[in-house]
Structure 1
C-alpha cells in the first residue's frame, strides 16, 4: 500500500488443495478496500518489518468490492480505475497465507471476507492391484506463419502461463507440448527477423484436450504499432509488475533480431471521464521511459529508441465498460519509426 491506514491482518490455513479464491465485500460503497496476499514463512513478522517479503497477489484498484477470482487475468492489479479482482491461486492443503486488507479512504468501515476452496472429493474405495492413474493431458502447439502467404517462418516464441516459468524457444517453426488438462490463461509472443512482434492473450478452457495456435506475422512497415498488454506497472509508479517480464523479453528479442529498426515507446494510462492531469502525463512519460531504460540496459543503442507519454488523451475506450476495455486503455505501445 502507498499508506497503510486502516488495515486488518488474517492468517489463513488452507483446508483442501486446489484453486483458492475469495471475496471482500461491503455495503458501504464509499469504502475502498485493497489487499496484499503473502505466503506465510518462518520469521514472517521480522521479514515484513525488514521489507524482505513480496506479496504473491495484490489488488489496489479503486473499489469497495475486491478479491481473487478464476476469471481475472493478472495476479497484481495497480491503483486507480482498474479490475477489482486479481487472478486465483493454486494452493495445497496445510499451506498458510497472510491476507492484509486495508481501507484506503476511511476508518471504521466494515467488510465481509468470504473464502472459497475446492471441495474435497469423496470417492469410493476400490481395491486394485498396481493401480495406474494418469491425468488427462492437453496437447498445445504453436506454429509461426506469414500472414499473407501462410508460409512457415523460423523465429522465437515465449509462452507464459503454461508452466511455472515461461517457455522460451529460439529458431523454430513450431513447438508442441503436453501439459495437465485444465484452464489456462496464456500470453504467447513470437518474433521472426523482418516481421512485426506479435503478442497474444490466449484462454484455453478446461474442456479442451488439444489446441493448435497459428501465429500470423506481418512484415515490418514504418508506422505500425505493437500493443504489449502485459507490460503492466505497480500502482501510480513506473515499477514493472512481474507479469511484464515476458513481453519485455519479447520486445528485446525483436530489437536484437531487427537491428535496422528504430521505435517510439508510447505510454498510456486509463483515466475515464477525467482531464489529462499533470500526474497522468508524468506517469505515462515515466512508464514509457522505464521500457526504454530496460532496452538500453540490455544493450540496445539509445539512438534507436524514443519514448513519449500521452497521459489519458488516447484511450481506446473513453468510457470503459469492462476490465478488458480498461486494460486496453492502460497500455504500452511500440511504434515503428
Structure 2
C-alpha cells in the first residue's frame, strides 16, 4: 500500500529510534523491527522472573555459562536475505554476550532442557578497539565465538521470509544502556545495467551537485550511490535488472525526489528538483504499510531517513 504522507504527520509514523522496555524472560520478549535503531538507556538488570539458562560450567562454549543480566527480543523475518546486527554499549567497559535462535513455541523448554542449539552466538570478551560493540557482520569469521579474547562479531546469517528469531543479550557485569540495530539485506545478483542522467533545478535548469541513491523497493535496502558531476549535473550507476528499485536524488536547498523504476535495460533517468521556499509542502509517495495496519514496513525507513535529513 502506498499513500501520500504530509510532512506534518511524519513524527506520528517515524519509528527510527524505538522506545521499548527490556524484558529478562523469553515469554515476555518484545518484537523489534529490522532497519531500525533501538536505544535502551539502562542495562539489563537480572534475568527476569525465570532464569532460562542456569549455571552449568560444563556447557558448550557456544552457549552462555549462565544467564545473568539479560534482555530477550523477537524478530520477524519479512523477506529472504542476510541478517546482520550491532549491539553498541553506551560505555566501553560493558561486556555484552549474545545468542540467536530460531523461535518456536517450544524454545523456552528446549533451552531449559539444554537441547536448544543457537544459530549464532558470541561470548568474546569486550574490546576497546571496537568500542565494545558486538553482533553479526562482515568482520565475523565463524558462527560461534567462545569466551575470552576473540572476534566480537560472528558471521552473518541467511534467513527466510516468515521465520522468527529469538535474540538474547547478556551484559556480564551490568552497567549502562546500549543501542541495537538489525538489518536484513536481500541477496542481489546480476546481471547489471547502467542508468545515467542529470539532476537539475526545475525552473532555472541549472545543473546541481546532488547525491543519487538506489534502494530495493520491497525492502528499502541500499544498493548503490553516486554523486553528480558538479559541472554537468550528470550521474552514472550500475543497477540489477528486473528488480523494482527506488531511485532518489538529493541536493542542498532543494526538495529530494524519489522515483520507482523496474530497469530492464540501460536507461536514462533525469531529475528536476524544486527549490525550497517558505511554506513549501512536501508529500511522500514511497511509504509502505502492512495490510490493514498503520505500521510502516521496513521498506519505508530509507525514505523517512531522507525526510529526517531534509528537515
TM-score, normalisation: structure 1: 0.35
Greater relative contact order, per chain length (Cα 8 Å cut-off, separation 6+) = 2
State TM-score, norm by structure 2: 0.38
